[in-house]
């Protein structure tokens, strides 16, 4: 008799964004004449940059001709894209990352979900709270958590991100092995400076831990003193894996392309001093379970690094950041404590109320959709997240509605 993976039974039944979608569609059904402005889910709204569209189209044409057609590509991604990434995202900023340390994938979600497979079932996992649910759920599915109790799981170390610590949690008292950090942070919009990240890198080196650094929002950083990559910290290449995405940078949420950096210096020793390379293990994992990203999509991603591509991406990011500024100023003007909205497309506000109550009130009275902070974790209770991914027109309208409702 076959048995299911019983860890699935520990998962919470409903997913945050599907609950929101249900509430919104119900409200719209009952109020068909109202215009709802959605600032909940972090999905981009501007089209693909023209440079990406041109490269994408031309690669599709190649696939239709016998002499330029491509079948299976390398599982880790084509050299042309890995080289463009290494040169532009790392070497140009003084980090020594080579193309064979880069693994192109279909999404940061897949990579941040799959990376835990490389580690033993009994490693201790630390996640920030509030947090992008994928880090937690995938470790629950893999059996690394205990049972859920009171909105949290046993055997998981939660790192609360709260105003008291400026959303930069301290190193925990207990020893942790696999540490998920995300900066610029989703959902709080907080950023980390080098001093803060160095604490974690030093800790990981000392305790032989591994950091999974999610830098999906690095393109939104404008302050010069904020690091774009964990590898700007000395020694990080020995203890950190970094995940990045073209989704929020270049509007690839529906096109699907991301990458993960696994430095060759990431070596883990067991009790017998046998050494294991995480780079080699991830290569084995990806070549066994993945067959590479669509060739035309990789060409579209490569175009992000062309001169026109860089310019167009920069304009799009500036557009979203200006949206964020408008929203943040409106909320601050209303007396709310805000994080993010600078160096980040997200604004995290302290509502002084129950998260879902505030969500319902905004939907009902101002037809604005936000994301309830409690959906990201217990420490998110009382907060909501606004996303700046929207049209300028909608953002201005939303700011006005907020002022009228809450002013």
Candidates 29, 30, 72, 335: give the one binding its own copies (CB under 8 A).
72
Query: Toward its own copies, which CB reaches closer, 60 or 406?
Result: 60
Cα-only R_g, the chain? 21
Question: Three-state DSSP class for 340?
Answer: strand
Candidates 93, 208, 365, 392: give the one binding its own copies (CB under 8 A).
208
Candidates 177, 218, 242, 381: give the one binding its own copies (CB under 8 A).
177
Query: Toward its own copies, which CB reaches closer, 69 or 365?
Result: 69
Number of residues near its own copies (by CB under 8 A): 80
**CB 157 → its own copies: shortest distance, Å?**
13
Candidates 39, 84, 102, 118: give the one binding its own copies (CB under 8 A).
118
Query: Toward its own copies, which CB reaches closer, 31 or 57?
Result: 57
Candidates 98, 100, 106, 397: give the one binding its own copies (CB under 8 A).
106
Annotate each residue in 15-34 with x if it binds its own copies (CB under 8 A) or - if it does not, as one string: x-------------------
Do the annotations mark residue 320 as ligand-binding? no
Do the annotations mark residue 15 as ligand-binding? yes
Using CA atoms, how far apart are residues 369 and 387, in angstroms rounded to an integer? 10
Task: Map the footprint of its own copies across residues 296-355, applying CB under 8 A.
Answer: 296-297
Query: Toward its own copies, which CB reaches closer, 93 or 284?
Result: 284
Tokens of 401: 């509605």
Does 253 engage in binding with its own copies (CB under 8 A)?
yes
Q: CA angle 107-112-115, nearest 5°?
A: 115
Candidates 276, 333, 352, 392: give the one binding its own copies (CB under 8 A).
276
Task: Map the footprint of its own copies across residues 346-405, applying CB under 8 A.
Answer: none
Task: Map the footprint of its own copies across residues 137-176, applying CB under 8 A.
Answer: 137-138, 141
Using CA atoms, how far apart are residues 156 and 138, in angstroms rounded to an integer? 12
Does 64 engage in binding with its own copies (CB under 8 A)?
yes
Task: Describe the strand order of the beta sheet including 156-160 as a list of residue ranges.
Answer: 102-105, 258-261, 240-245, 210-214, 178-182, 125-129, 156-160
**Residue corresponding to tokens 């203890």:** 239
Candidates 254, 272, 335, 393: give the one binding its own copies (CB under 8 A).
254
Query: Toward its own copies, which CB reaches closer, 126 or 226?
Result: 126
Do the annotations mark residue 108 as ligand-binding? yes
Contact 127, 135 (CB under 8 A): yes
Using CA atoms, how far apart are residues 96 and 98, in angstroms rounded to an integer? 7
Tokens of 28: 């719209």
CA 38, 243, 246, 94 torsion: positive or negative? positive
Contact 153, 136 (CB under 8 A): yes
Does 120 engage in binding with its own copies (CB under 8 A)?
yes
Secondary element (H or E) of residue 276: strand 275-277
Contact 293, 72 (CB under 8 A): no
Does 47 engage in binding with its own copies (CB under 8 A)?
yes
**CB 54 → its own copies: shortest distance, Å?**
9
Q: CA angle 239-242-248, nearest 5°?
A: 165
Question: Three-state DSSP class for 389?
Answer: coil
Question: Three-state DSSP class for 400?
Answer: helix
Query: Toward its own copies, which CB reaches closer, 52 or 190?
Result: 52
Strand positions, DSSP E, 139-198:
148-149, 152-153, 156-160, 178-182
Annotated binding site for substrate: 15, 42, 109, 132, 186, 291, 385
> What residue numbers does the annotated binding site for pyridoxal 5'-phosphate cover?
72, 108-109, 132, 186, 217, 245-247, 256, 291
């Amino acid at each position: 008799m076959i048995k299911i993976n019983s860890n699935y039974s520990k998962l919470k039944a409903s997913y945050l964004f599907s609950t929101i979608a249900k509430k919104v569609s119900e409200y719209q059904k009952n109020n068909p004449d109202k215009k709802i402005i959605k600032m909940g889910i972090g999905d981009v709204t501007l089209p693909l940059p023209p440079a990406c569209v041109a490269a994408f189209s031309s690669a599709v044409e190649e696939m239709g001709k016998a002499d330029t057609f491509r079948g299976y590509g390398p599982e880790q991604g084509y050299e042309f894209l890995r080289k463009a990434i290494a040169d532009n995202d790392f070497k140009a900023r003084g980090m020594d990352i080579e193309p064979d340390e880069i693994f192109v994938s279909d999404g940061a979600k897949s990579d941040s979900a799959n990376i835990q497979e490389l580690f033993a079932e009994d490693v201790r996992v630390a996640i920030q709270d509030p947090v992008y649910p994928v880090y937690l759920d995938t470790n629950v599915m893999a059996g690394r958590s205990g049972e859920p109790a009171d909105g949290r799981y046993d055997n998981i170390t939660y790192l609360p991100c709260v105003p008291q610590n400026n959303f930069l949690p301290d190193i925990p008292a207990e020893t942790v092995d696999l540490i998920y950090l995300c900066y610029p942070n989703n959902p709080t919009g907080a950023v980390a400076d080098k001093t803060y990240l160095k604490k974690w890198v030093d800790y990981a080196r000392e305790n032989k831990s591994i950091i999974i650094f999610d830098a999906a929002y690095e393109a939104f950083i404008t302050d010069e003193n904020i690091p774009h990559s964990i590898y700007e910290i000395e020694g990080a290449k020995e203890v950190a894996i970094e995940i990045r995405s073209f989704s929020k940078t270049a509007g690839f949420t529906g096109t699907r392309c991301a990458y993960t950096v696994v430095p060759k210096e990431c070596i883990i020793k067991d009790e017998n001093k046998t050494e294991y390379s995480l780079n080699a293990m991830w290569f084995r994992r990806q070549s066994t379970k993945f067959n590479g990203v669509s060739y035309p999509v990789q060409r579209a991603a490569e175009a992000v690094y062309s001169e026109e591509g860089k310019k167009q991406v920069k304009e799009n990011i500036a557009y979203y950041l200006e949206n964020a500024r408008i929203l943040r100023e409106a909320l601050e003007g209303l007396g709310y404590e805000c994080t993010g909205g600078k160096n980040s497309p997200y604004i995290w506000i302290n509502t002084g109320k129950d998260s879902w109550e505030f969500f319902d009130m905004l939907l009902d009275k101002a037809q604005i959709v936000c994301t309830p902070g409690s959906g990201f974790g217990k420490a998110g209770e009382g907060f909501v997240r606004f996303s700046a991914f929207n049209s300028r027109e909608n953002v201005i309208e939303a700011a006005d509605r907020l002022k009228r409702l809450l002013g």
